[in-house]
Amino acid sequence: MITGATSGIGLGCARKFAENGDKLILTGRNGQRLEEIRKELADKGTQVTTLVFDVRDREQATRCVHSLPEEWREIDVLVNNAGLALGLEPEYEGSFDDWETMIDTNIKGLLTMTRLIVPGMVARDRGHIINIGSVAGDAAYSNGNVYCATKSAVKTLTDGLRLDVASSAVRVTNLKPGLVETNFSNTRFHGDTERAANVYKGIKPLTGDDIADVAVYAANAPAHVQIAEVLILATHQGSGSVIVRK
Ligand code: NDP
Ligand code: 8X3
């Protein structure tokens, strides 16, 4: 199950897990886009089912997950990917609405999915949760404040979950990408495409597929190997704050 599978890293994961021969439950808010992706992957022989819901809506998410037919209920891998940044401004000038959306999506949405899916994994003594954190969760960068805090929360929640399932065979991974060229910056800058494009100028950024490769690797590691955390940076990126542009 991949949340936020309509774009970027989530879509990359959908394609790479499909190449790996897995059955997919793709979730997102844009039903039309999900259906296009379902068709694309089904044409290549992948079994795909889709669920349309907003991870911030706990009731809708619960209803959708509970509506899965019997043969789709045993979820082996949950990729908690749906998330976003909104705004890049000093903490004392940020937007209350942007903060709330980031917290509700990146923290509470991830927790909702975890709460809905992980009990089945623990009961079956089998499963893997791959949370999409960020280099932004390792240290704040200027004007990143609340977004960085949400990804820092993802790190702590991932570590907490790993402790809580340690007596089972369930594995928990935090993937922490750096600069990945997706729709992320368009969303962050509220549709200012020029400002978004500047984020990737002068450096070869990562792609959603690069992150998906690591997710597929972690999910297919031998059962006794738990890839706890991976930081994946573009080659000319030193940290969340240091990007060398040429
Ligand atoms: P994209 O904007 O390309 O994709 C984000 C996905 O999340 C979309 O499918 C989007 O759907 C979905 N989404 C957002 N809000 C919700 C919601 N409330 N309910 C359901 N789905 C939602 O960005 P990325 O692929 O880059 O982002 C994916 C994850 O990777 C995020 O968690 C992000 O924080 C993280 N990340 C991104 C990095 C980057 O540089 N790009 C680096 C590190 C981490 P919709 O189209 O409906 O909005
Ligand atoms: C996305 C990467 O550095 O833009 O989490 O915050 S960054």
In a domain? residue 69: yes
Ligand nearest to the CA of 109: 1
In a domain? residue 64: yes
Q: What would the pLDDT profile of 222-238 be if each residue is shown by its tens digit?
A: 999 999 999 999 999 99
What confidence score (pLDDT) does residue 186 get?
A: 98
What confidence score (pLDDT) does residue 129 get?
A: 99
Mean pLDDT of 181-203: 98
Write the Ramachandran bin of 185: left for phi over 0, alpha for psi from -120 to 50, otherwise beta: alpha
**What's the 240 CA to ligand 2 centre distance in angstroms?**
7
Total domains in the fold of the chain: 1
For this structure, is 200 an active site residue? no
Residues with CB under 6 A from ligand 2: 134-136, 144, 178-179, 240
Q: Provide the residue range defining the domain that includes 110.
A: 57-205+218-232
Q: What percent of the chain has pLDDT over 90?
A: 100
In a domain? residue 6: no
Contact (CB, 8 A) for 200 and 181: yes
In a domain? residue 84: yes
Q: What would the pLDDT profile of 121-166 be if each residue is shown by its tens digit?
A: 999 999 999 999 999 999 999 999 999 999 999 999 999 999 999 9
**What's the 102 CA to ligand 2 centre distance in angstroms?**
13
In a domain? residue 17: no
Contact (CB, 8 A) for 78 and 118: yes
What confidence score (pLDDT) does residue 56 get?
A: 98
What confidence score (pLDDT) does residue 77 get?
A: 99
Q: Is 174 in the pocket of ligand 1 (CB under 6 A)?
A: no
In a domain? residue 18: no
Q: Is 4 in the pocket of ligand 1 (CB under 6 A)?
A: yes
**What's the 134 CA to ligand 2 centre distance in angstroms?**
6
**What's the 54 CA to ligand 2 centre distance in angstroms?**
22
In a domain? residue 26: no
In a domain? residue 108: yes
Q: Is 34 in the pocket of ligand 1 (CB under 6 A)?
A: no
| CATH number, domain containing residue 185 | 3.40.50.720
Ligand nearest to the CA of 4: 1
Mean pLDDT of 100-120: 99
Q: pTM score, two decimals?
A: 0.98
What confidence score (pLDDT) does residue 25 get?
A: 99
